[in-house]
Structure 1
Amino acid sequence: MSHNTIAINQQMEKFDGHASVWLFGYGSLIYKADFPYIERRTASIANLTRRFWQGSHDHRGTEAAPGRVVTLVPESGAVCNGMAYLITPEVFTHLDHREKNGYLRLATQITFDDETSVEGLVYIATADNAAYLGAASEQDIARQIAASSGPSGPNRDYLIDLAHALREMGKHDAHVFAIEQYLTS
């Protein structure tokens, strides 16, 4: 699959006809909601874990020196904490462009902190996209992040902002915090 997933995401019909849809954010969507939303709530999704395994050629790196940003990978029993936004379908155009570098719009079950749940959507970069970098040690990921910068700024800002947002939410993420520790030590 190519880097640009806009056309693929525009074909998703799952939420056609809905007046509003819940969107789950687990990376920069936690702290950078540059789109209109109706409501915002802390939430989680099950059996997926956040990993810095996706390359960023368009925001936090370049084609020659991609940065690393988060995606979700399957892990039985895992819980990924993040932020859910109630949005209207008109926001998809903006989000499809923002998440175009390999991310697919997928349906998922979102659980709110009060234990209620709803079907919503999430953008996930799967291993079959051209920008996928895959697993690496947290120390190697930190080195790549430290050396990368793109049109949206230094890759290190993305990591530090994500770690800060997770702490503000009172949520722990061992992978994110370990990379942060390597980056800042």
Structure 2
Amino acid sequence: MSSSPFVVFGYGSLIFKPPPHVHSQVSGFLKGYVRRFAQKSHDHRGTPENPGRVVTLIHKEDWDRFSGSDAFPDEDIVWGIAYTIDPVYEVEVRDYLDYREKDGYTMETLDIYTTENGVEKVVIHDAYCYVGRPDNPSFIGSEPLDALADRIWHSVGPSGRNKDYLYHLADSVRKLAPASHDSHLFALETRLRKLDREERDNSARGREGQGPNVL
């Protein structure tokens, strides 16, 4: 085990499904990164034949080279939660996270910021974070929002429906802090809710079209 605390920053499913053995946690944000549904999910929210999409954290300067379809090119703040792990269980949690994040993610160390009285400051130095670099085999890059929303809405994997992942993440990010906005995430949420409504409306019209049974 390391002498300093093991702190991991969650920006995706770790926000609504935290790692085990959390000693303490704090909301905060990263600067100079974007959170995008730019990673294929073959093992959780999709299948090898029909991969879903999950978020990855990308250096802003890297993303600029892949973001031709990005509707929000100027954002570079990512809100999430920094979890301090009980030192007794550090090795166990590291192994758990390495397995959970095995589909193309690399561990990096980052500074976590917070805002107090309108002033930004680093609240945690060198927190660990799993980042999907552009050269990993599951990186898909930027896709038009409507096409991306359709892919997420239809995808299902061993961990459940891809759209439920997005809904959980959007709800969780919204609750982190008054400033924890994410235009990309919330725009996708709006599109998926629209697809849900259209499905319900189509189902209702189908039931009405059947009419009453006549003997």
Name the TM-score class by shorter chain: 0.7 to 0.9
Counterparts of 2:48 and 2:181 in 1: how far apart (Å)? 32
**Residue identity (%):** 38
**Equivalent residue, structure 2, for 1:52:** 37
Q: How does 1:1-185 map to 2 (within 5 A)?
A: 17-75=2-60, 78-87=76-85, 88=87, 89-90=90-91, 91-114=93-116, 115=121, 116-169=123-176, 170=178, 171-185=180-194
Q: After alignment, is 67-76 or 79-88 more displaced?
A: 67-76
Structure 1, unmatched stretches of 5+, are 1-15
Contact 1:41 1:112 in 2 (8 A): no
Decide which structure has greater helix share.
2
Deviation per residue, 1:152-184 (Å, 9 max, x gap): 000000000000001112311000001111111
Counterparts of 1:158 and 1:117 in 2: how far apart (Å)? 27
Counterparts of 1:113 and 1:122 in 2: how far apart (Å)? 20
Supply the AA of the counterpart residue of 1:85. Y
Counterparts of 1:154 and 1:164 in 2: how far apart (Å)? 16
- TM-score when normalising by structure 1: 0.86
Q: Which has the larger radius of gyration?
A: 2
Decide which structure has greater strand share.
1
Contact 1:24 1:85 in 2 (8 A): yes
Q: Give SS of 1:172's match.
A: coil
- TM-score when normalising by structure 2: 0.75
Contact 2:19 2:97 in 1 (8 A): no
Runs of 4 or more consecutive aligned structure 1 residues displaced over 3 Å after TM superposition: none
Deviation per residue, 1:9-53 (Å, 9 max, x gap): xxxxxxx52352211110111111141111011011110010000
